């Protein structure tokens, strides 16, 4: 499964974990000028990295630098989760000339798609591998780290591992559960049932919730390192996806109640600024000349050659929705108007950066709790949470215009609010349609030749060739 990364290293007789710890340290140095790590050639690199707090912490920070700077998966660019899943759903039109790229838009993916393999599957497991390498390094460290640093590193590594497994299992279905950096184990890994993957995700997030601090002190007040609230936010989402309504409501409530740290921005143009009051976890840009790759990709300065918003999405906004006014931009070419996501306002710009890439934010927690409450029969509570989001958007309140709303009607209203609130953020729309069994009813009306099997991406064929235990392939491929 991961042996594309291991073959040359194996041939040199070098343990993979040692090399990758060193690479994580190097990523940290190149991207954020963290402390330099220059281990003696006669010593194991992992021992050098984990001999003191500063060096060890540079390794975990290197993972986030890799996530935001490596093309695909988490970087917000054209091959990232937010764009590829946006094309698979009903958010984005593709103008690319690449068949592999357009396969997401036309829902004609094949198992040989190189974007699917390289930018989603491989990178997701690469970051899991980094996290596992850090966890192994902690186990093998020789007492040079303080206990708070050990807890911090373990919590962050488990959070990253859970976060990436969450996306892999939702995009591909049954997937390998990787909890070790040992290539001898991973190269023959088998797919396991989604439920077992979720069990590990929940276990990792609970550990992270317990181990991580409840403030942002480790990142000097910036919201760029996961803490207990990031773990809580992910737990709320995971419980929602698992239809554990009580736990989803409970975890979301913990964050919503923490008004000292988290508040909805009344100005929609403030939401995606760095360290906004709504941010639970952001990724800090590291590219010279850019703020976010989302802003650089989405904002149109000419006729689009990448993506723009679909007409179906544009017409789904209610009249006078402030999110349309503030979060959707337009570019006119003659009589043709192209609309684009405008949550991020900065196309290019050198440091200091004013916008950070948003990963987790408070508005989602209100919508998680609203859905969980509606599913549990607490319609009044669900309406109240939904109306918080609608009020900020300048829309009439459901409690006023639909005081007798039914459960099914309310769930559709919450689906709509998630659609126009969380669009082009981390695949929410695509995953929402899938988890609620709404993909076929919605997408079959607007997608040519939509098939229910399209809701799961193919297991990359190159990975199956390397590891036959990944069979059977997902249906339809």
| pLDDT given at position 22 | 46
At residue 352, the pLDDT reads 79
Which range of 22-26, 139-143, 207-211 scores highest in mean pLDDT? It is 207-211
* pLDDT bucket at 203, cuts 50 / 70 / 90: very high
- Cβ atoms of 321 and 268 within 8 Å: the answer is no
pLDDT at residue number 44: 30
Sign of the CA dihedral 68, 73, 79, 82? negative
357, 82 Cβ separation under 8 angstroms: no
The more confidently predicted of residues 164 and 31 is 164
pLDDT attached to residue 20: 45
Task: Kindly indicate the confidence band of residue 48, based on its pLDDT and cuts at 50, 70 and 90.
Answer: low
CA-CA distance, 324 to 204, in Å (whole number)? Answer: 37
Mean pLDDT computed over 449-464: 97
Cα–Cα dist 214/206, whole Å: 14
Asked if residues 132 and 178 have their Cβ atoms less than 8 Å apart, the reply is: yes
Distance CA 235, CA 56 (A): 26
State the Cα angle at 306 between 305 and 312, rounded to 5°. 105
pLDDT of amino acid 350: 74
| pLDDT for the residue numbered 35 | 28
Question: pLDDT band for position 220 (50/70/90)?
Answer: very high
pLDDT tens profile 345-375: 999 877 778 999 999 999 999 999 999 999 9
Answer whether residue 287 shows pLDDT above 90.
Answer: no
- Residue 452 main-chain phi, psi, to 5 deg: -55, -30
pTM: 0.92
Burial (CB < 10 A; 0-12, 13-18, 19+), residue 417, is buried
Mean pLDDT for 465-477 is 96
Q: Which helix (H) or strand (E) holds 246?
A: helix 245-256
Angle at which helices 53-69 and 147-172 cross, to 10°: 20
**How much is the pLDDT for 126?**
96
At 47 the pLDDT is 61
Instruction: Report how far apart, in Å, the C-alpha atoms of 333 and of each of 281, 296, 344, 421 are.
Output: 37, 19, 22, 27
Note whether 351 and 289 are within 8 A (CB).
no
Q: Between these two residues, 437 and 4, which has the higher pLDDT value?
A: 437
Encode pLDDT of 172-196 as tens digits.
Answer: 999 999 999 988 888 889 999 999 9
Residue 38 confidence (pLDDT) above 50: no
Q: What SS3 state is found at 193?
A: coil
- Contact yes or no for 35/63 (Cβ under 8 A): no
Distance CA 473, CA 111 (A): 9
- d(Cα 133, Cα 179) in Å, to the nearest integer? 9
In three state form, how does the secondary structure of 350-377 look? CCCCCECEEEEEHHHHHHHHHHHHHHHC
pLDDT band of residue 288 (cuts 50, 70, 90) is confident
The b-or-e profile of 159-190 (16+ CB within 10 A means b, else e) is bbbbbbbbbbbbbbbbbbbbbebebeebbebe
- Residues, the chain: 477
Q: Between 182 and 223, where is the model more confident?
A: 223
Query: Is residue 10's pLDDT more than 70?
Result: no
Q: Are 413 and 429 in contact (CB under 8 A)?
A: no
Residue range 335-344: average pLDDT?
Answer: 97
Q: Residue 279: helix, strand or coil by DSSP?
A: strand
CB 275 within 8 Å of CB 356: yes
Q: Helix or strand or coil: residue 77?
A: coil
pLDDT higher than threshold 70 for residue 286:
yes
CA distances from 68 to 22, 128, 269, 276, 353 (A): 19, 15, 22, 19, 14
- Reported as half-sphere exposure (CB side, CA atoms, 13 A), residue 208 has a value of 29
Mean pLDDT of 9-19: 34
Residue 158 near residue 133, CB atoms below 8 Å: no
CA distance 347 to 331: 14
The pLDDT value given to residue 333 = 96
Cα 343 to Cα 353: distance, rounded to the nearest angstrom: 15
pLDDT band at 111 (very low <50, low <70, confident <90, very high): very high
Q: Residue 474's CB: how many other CB atoms inside 10 A?
A: 17
pLDDT score of 190: 96
Residue-by-residue DSSP string for 292-340: -HHHHHHS-SSS-SSEEE-HHHHTTSPTT-HHHHHHEEEEEETTEEEEE
User: Residue 37 pLDDT > 50, yes or no?
Assistant: no
């Amino acid at each position: 499964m991961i042996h594309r990364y291991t073959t040359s290293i194996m041939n040199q007789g070098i343990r993979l974990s040692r090399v990758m710890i060193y690479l994580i340290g190097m990523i940290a140095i190149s991207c954020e000028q963290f402390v330099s790590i220059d281990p003696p050639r006669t010593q194991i690199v992992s021992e050098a990295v984990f001999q003191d707090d500063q060096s060890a912490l540079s390794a975990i920070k290197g993972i986030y630098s890799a996530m935001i700077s490596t093309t695909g998966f988490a970087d917000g660019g054209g091959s990232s989760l937010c764009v590829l899943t946006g094309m698979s759903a009903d958010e984005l039109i593709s103008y690319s000339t690449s068949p592999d790229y357009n396969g997401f838009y036309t829902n004609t993916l094949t198992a040989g798609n190189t974007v699917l393999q390289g930018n989603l599957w491989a990178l997701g497991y690469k970051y899991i591998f980094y996290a596992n390498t850090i966890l192994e390094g902690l186990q093998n460290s020789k007492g040079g780290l303080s206990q708070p640093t050990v807890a911090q590193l373990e919590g962050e590594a488990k959070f990253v591992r859970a976060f990436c497994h969450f996306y892999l299992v939702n995009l591909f279905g049954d997937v390998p559960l990787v909890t070790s950096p040992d290539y001898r184990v991973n190269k023959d890994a088998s797919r396991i049932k989604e439920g077992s993957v979720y069990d590990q995700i929940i276990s990792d997030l609970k550990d992270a919730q317990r181990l991580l601090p409840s403030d942002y002190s480790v990142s000097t007040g910036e919201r760029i390192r996961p803490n207990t609230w990031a773990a809580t936010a992910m737990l709320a989402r995971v419980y929602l996806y698992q239809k554990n309504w009580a736990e989803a409501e409970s975890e979301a409530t913990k964050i919503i109640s923490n008004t000292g740290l988290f508040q909805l921005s009344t100005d929609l143009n403030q939401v995606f600024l760095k360290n906004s009051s709504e941010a639970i976890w952001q990724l800090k840009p590291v590219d010279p000349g850019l703020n976010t790759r989302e802003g650089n990709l989405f904002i149109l300065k000419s006729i689009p050659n990448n993506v723009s918003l679909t007409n179906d999405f544009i017409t789904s906004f209610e009249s006078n929705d402030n999110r349309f006014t503030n979060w959707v931009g337009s570019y006119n070419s003659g009589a043709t108007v192209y609309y684009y996501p405008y949550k991020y306002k900065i196309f290019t710009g050198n440091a200091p950066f004013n916008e950070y890439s948003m990963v987790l934010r408070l508005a989602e927690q209100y919508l998680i709790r609203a859905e969980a409450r509606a599913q549990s029969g607490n319609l009044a509570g669900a309406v109240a949470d939904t109306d918080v989001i609608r009020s900020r958007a300048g829309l009439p309140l459901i409690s006023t215009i639909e005081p007798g709303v039914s459960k099914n009607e309310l769930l559709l209203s919450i689906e709509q609010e998630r659609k126009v609130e969380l669009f082009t953020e981390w695949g929410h729309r695509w995953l929402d349609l899938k988890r609620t069994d709404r993909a076929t009813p919605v997408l079959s009306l607007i997608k040519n030749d939509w098939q229910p099997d399209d809701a799961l991406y193919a297991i990359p064929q190159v990975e199956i060739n390397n590891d036959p235990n990944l069979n059977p392939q997902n249906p339809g491929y």
